[in-house]
Amino acid sequence: MKSFAPILCLLAASFLHAQTEADPFKTQTDAPAEPRWEGPQQVSCCFEVFKLDQKSAAEQLAQRTPDIEFYESLVKQATGGTLQREVLMIVRARSGEKATAKSASDFIFPTEYDAIVNRPPQDPSASADSPEATSLSLALPSGSENPILKPCAFETRELGLTAEISPNLGMNGEIIDLSVNLERVLHHGNQAYGNGLARVEMPIFDRQEIRTALTCRVNRPLLIGSFNPSSHTPNPDSPSEVWLVFMTATLSRP
């Protein structure tokens, strides 16, 4: 019996060593799955704006193609260079919260003026050291006094694109109730008022907005509205354009 002891020890060691090495003929199990996230989901909304001429847009919309197919067709056309993707903006928010993304620049312009009135020299009440000032808005004085206008009040307007979302994810995680506010503001030149030294120019703004509440599916593009260019275009003879706005909502977690 003693002669078998070393053999038994050797067999036991070999068995233990085999347990520690991976069996090449055995399928390896995957790494442990991450714990399921039980917290609130985050919703990402991707806004894309495609610019089409009005005739082409009307023809494609008349086909009543489902939104996802229409979107894929526009992406293919944009990739081929037959139309332009004007905007690509992403906003992410936690379900039940509000989020805003903004791409804009400040445009500062005067809104009120002081009219510095220089009276004729024969008027004894006039003095070079004490000019008479009158507060103005857009109604400017006229006459022989030729007032010199000095801005005294200013206003700031943001030019660009602003997107605001407020998503609420459904219980099944497939449907999203969403409030959307998409606003675009452009500067289209100035309008002149008055004459001579009393002439001022006020800016003309083109404001376009889509404000809506809708229900969408996750990962499915949706046409939410359109923008039309302002009548104050540099070239009025150019073809009319339409900007179609699509939104795709996806889910993400921290």
pLDDT tens track for 173-185: 889 999 999 999 9
Q: What is the pTM of this model?
A: 0.68
How does residue 171 score in pLDDT terms, banded at 50, 70 and 90? confident
- What would the mean pLDDT of 119-148 be, rounded to a whole number? 53
Pairwise CA distance, residues 135 & 22, whole Å:
90
- In the chain, the percentage of residues whose pLDDT exceeds 90 is 34
Q: Kindly report the CA angle at 206 between 222 and 113, in degrees rounded to 5?
A: 150
The per-residue pLDDT for 225 is: 92
Per-residue pLDDT tens digits for 43-54: 999 999 998 888
| Mean pLDDT, rounded, of the chain | 78
pLDDT value at 36 more than 90: no
Pairwise CA distance, residues 169 & 175, whole Å:
6
